[in-house]
Amino acid sequence: MKTKLLLLIITIIAIASYAFQINEPWTRKQLMEPAVLANILNNPAEKQPILFSIGPGGGIKSSLDIGQTKEKENIEKLRKQLNNLSRDTMIVIYCGCCPFKDCPNIRPAFQLLNEMKFTNTRLLDLSKNLKADWIDKGYPINN
């Protein structure tokens, strides 16, 4: 009985995980943990990504503030910035306005990256928000 219940739970988790990947414009591999990005930003010897803030406020060290990409004019602002970059440039986008699953800004921005055929893109995995997942952890911010 316990084995059947455990198999059922594992199956449900696997289906939910698969559904998450189908419904989102990014893959799990394209999510970047905050600690990973913080380590890169804190190490000048590391190749630095181009970092775009696509939400209501920037904050992460060296990020370019695009504004909320749920707004058409900000998607166009992002497109203009991207036009100047090689398609293999490492790009990291983040918002952090609200819980990751509810964010209105990350999906339009990531869809644009896909449409423009960028091949080295990451979405910073801020599951709660920028304050809880970045600032409160003491990761590098703009001064």
pLDDT value at 67 more than 90: yes
Q: State the residue for tokens 């289906």.
A: 15
pTM of the predicted protein model: 0.82
Binned at pLDDT 50, 70 and 90, residue 19 comes out as very low
> Are 34 and 100 in contact, with CB atoms under 8 Å apart?
no
Q: State the residue for tokens 């009985």.
A: 1
Superfamily of domain 27-137: Rhodanese-like domain (3.40.250.10)
Q: Is 52 in a helix, a strand, or coil?
A: strand
Percent of the chain with pLDDT over 70: 85
> Which residues lie below 8 Å from residue 96, measured CB to CB, with a gap of 6+?
55, 59, 124, 126, 129, 130, 131, 133, 134
Binned at pLDDT 50, 70 and 90, residue 16 comes out as low
